[in-house]
Amino acid sequence: MDICKTHENASKCNANAMECFMVLSTQTQKISIATLCGLFGTLCIFENSLVLYLIFSSPGTRRKPSYIFISSLALADILASIIFVCSFVNFHVFNKTDFSKETYLLQLGGVNTSFSASLSSLLLTALDRYISISRPSEYKLLMTRKRAWIALGVLWVTCATVASLPLLGWNCCTLNSTCSELFPFVDNNYLSSWICFVMVLLGCIIYAYTHVLWRAHQHVAYMEKHQVQLGKQNTRMRMDVMLAKTLVMVLTVLVLCWSPVLVLMIYSIFASLSNHLRKVFAFCSTLCLLNSMVNPIIYALRSKELYSSLRMVFSRFRRQLKASEESPEAESTHKSSMIET
């Protein structure tokens, strides 16, 4: 009898059980997953590394709490892309099973920590913008650099603690409980708790941005109703419209990237998954990586300060490139004049 046919057999903690979770059966599926992971992962690392460089190369941006949160988001997305791509491709594409239960749970903990920290950074960014628009006069008093770093420290420690619980003993092998059908050695109760943790983060992000979006809508309606003084009011209205467009983009990308994975995780807790659904889950998992790739475009590169810094970097690079192209010509001209002399 096939060891992967029943949920009870798939829950066993042995080397054969690891093979039950390798759901990619054809070479086309493996190449597709490897291509998606390689493309999204490479772009994610490049974009977020560029964001970190732009933030920390400017004294004006690296001191602001909002950019501290964005730098945390970029760092979490870099770690998520590296750990996720390496472990995911190694497991599903190359079918490597020559590692222990502890090694697998350590890799899974790294992935969970990175993605949870990414969502937590998004939450802090949402709360930062929530405070800035709801209590603008008290923003600088409420959101200081010290509080920003403390909030980041608390959230990173919380994410790492929650993600390391299976490695510390909350797994189906140690507890002899029901294992998840999506992740080896992971207890179903732990998976439910982790889903609740992520749902709380997503819910708080959506609430904060919905409130900011509503306040932006109120500003636009007020400006349109009282068009007596132009200039500054129209500028503020354009900023509110741009903010509203950005927030709609944020919420759309966030929901589209995380909903499929969370829905399949929740479904796996209450019902048995077919091989087809598990393959769908493997492909949907790359959407979380896509979210990490899109984050710097939405949160960082739409910022005027970082965009101007990016233009300065490109202009400086072009000047250096022109200088390097002109220097060999100048050197050859100097050599020819010396020979003539």
The separation between the first and the last C-alpha atoms of the chain, rounded to the nearest angstrom, is 91
How far apart CA 203 and CA 262 sit, in angstroms, is: 13
How far apart CA 68 and CA 56 sit, in angstroms, is: 9
Delineate the domains of the chain, giving CATH numbers in brackets. 23-306 (1.20.1070.10)
Model pLDDT, residue 114 = 93
CA distances, 8 to each of 3, 25, 92, 101, 272 (Å): 9, 22, 22, 18, 11
Model pLDDT, residue 338 = 42
Model pLDDT, residue 227 = 58
Model pLDDT, residue 330 = 46
Residues of the chain with pLDDT under 50: 1-3, 5-11, 228, 230, 237, 240, 330-341
How far apart CA 150 and CA 7 sit, in angstroms, is: 43
Model pLDDT, residue 31 = 92
